[in-house]
Structure 1
Amino acid sequence: MNLSRPLLLASNSPRRKELLTGLGLKFDVHVKDVEEDFPSELKREEIAEFLASHKADQYFEDLADHILLTADTIVCLGDKVLNKPSNYQEAYEMLRALSGTSHEVITGVCILTRDIKDIFHDITKVHFKQLSHEEIDYYINTYKPYDKAGAYGIQEWIGKIGIERIEGSYFNVVGLPVQKLYQQLVSLGFLKM
């Protein structure tokens, strides 16, 4: 597969790097510190798309003939957004809230060049079994999920023992809806087989 321009990934996420590599794409990583605040009136997918777009805007002046890719993944329990936990207690409360119920993982994606800005999102519904105190405690203490929205990674132990089923893209829950991304890159004319 050939990209028509060099690709920049604006993310330090090892999972996003792995997924892009798995698509067979060559890319460089370029990361800046960007505030992840959003207007309080935004809801669910609007938040994910806003954050991906906001991140991309911070790189616009640096773009030459590049394709920039940004993404932001949020976890929604109803209309409540579960961000990254800052400590054990927050992580525990999030996993207790997700236990025995379903929630939605939404990833907003922005593809930016000097002349195109394309923003989209994907939603996956995730169903957790009832988690015991011991399971939650073991997971947090062993995996320290403080860099993950909703305090969990589907690809980690908690996903293997706790997730009963999903509706939608698994890779979206990992952090990048690669099937949708592939389709967008093709439709925008950036990617050819």
Structure 2
Amino acid sequence: MSSTLFLAFISPRRRELLRQIGVDRTVVEVNVDETPLPRESPAEYVIRLALAKARAGHDNLGTRSATVLAADTAVVLGDEIMGKPADKAMAATMLRKLSGRTHKVLTGVALVGRVEETRLSVNRVSFRNLEAQEIQAYWSSGEPRDKAGSYGIQGLGAMFISHLEGSFSGVMGLPLFETAELLQRAGIRPLRPWITEEDLNE
């Protein structure tokens, strides 16, 4: 038996990814402190935040019949978690650090309803060497301003990536394989809009 699905995120990129698999639901706003805990690993960090956001959304709705989906993404270089840049200088510093190196992008996904489940997507992204003029031009495009690590794989930032090992959608912010798996376990069928009566009767 499926339940009503809500999204504990407003990210247009994540909603776009969900629409790819036929899922577009109501958003429930949440406010969660995203400060990393002492000695917390990046993997523990993204799972904790995704679960906290899903729990907060479920609590805000006040109904047990609701199921809430949440996600959190971190760009990690070594042990450093790179968040969204506060300004141009911070974005330039992040991009210089990523230039010519391989980093990880971790995305935690959580579903909270009758049960709680989480999944983790781990991806490795390699950047080519970036020139100072490219970094300046990229900031001027406006794309880095709301992106973890100061770049977006789905936009102009794709030009910097020489190699990707893992999930494109996971780097974008919502790994569709893991997300679909969680939804199906909760009785929510992502492909429903494209399933015909003929398909069901086969």
TM-score (norm 1): 0.92
Q: 1:8-36 CA deviation, whole Å, 9 max, x = no partner?
A: 11111000010111111131112123221
Spell out, residue by residue over 1:22-64, the C-alpha distance to the aligned partner (whole angstroms, 9 max, x if none).
1111311121232212312111111100111121222232242
Aligned AA for 2:10? N
RMSD: 1.6
State the distance in 2 between where 1:93 and 1:186 align: 41
Calculate percent identity across the aligned residue pairs: 35
Matched, 1:92 2:92: yes
Matched with 1:181 is 179
CA deviations over 1:99-156 (Å, ceiling 9, x no partner): 001100000111001x211112101110100010011110011124221110110111
* Number of residues of Structure 1 aligned to a counterpart in Structure 2: 189
| AA at the equivalent of 1:51 | L
Task: Find the counterpart in structure 2 of residue 6 from structure 1.
Answer: 4
Q: How does 1:71-90 map to 2 (within 5 A)?
A: 71-90=71-90
**1:1-193 aligned within 5 A:** 4-61=2-59, 62-64=61-63, 65-113=65-113, 115-159=114-158, 161-191=159-189
Moved more, 165-174 or 37-46: 37-46
Give the drift of 1:88. 0.5
Tell me, in whole angstroms, the C-alpha distance in 2 between the residues paired with 1:59 and 1:183.
20
TM-score by length of 2: 0.88
Summarize deviations over 1:136-187 as a string: whole Å, max 9, x none. Answer: 110011124221110110111121x210110000000110001111122223
Could you tell me whether the CA contact under 8 Å between 1:85 and 1:149 is conserved in 2?
yes
The structure that has the greater radius of gyration is 2
* Structure with more of its chain in helix, by fraction: 2
Give how far 1:87 is off. 0.6
Secondary structure of residue in 2 paired with 1:145: helix
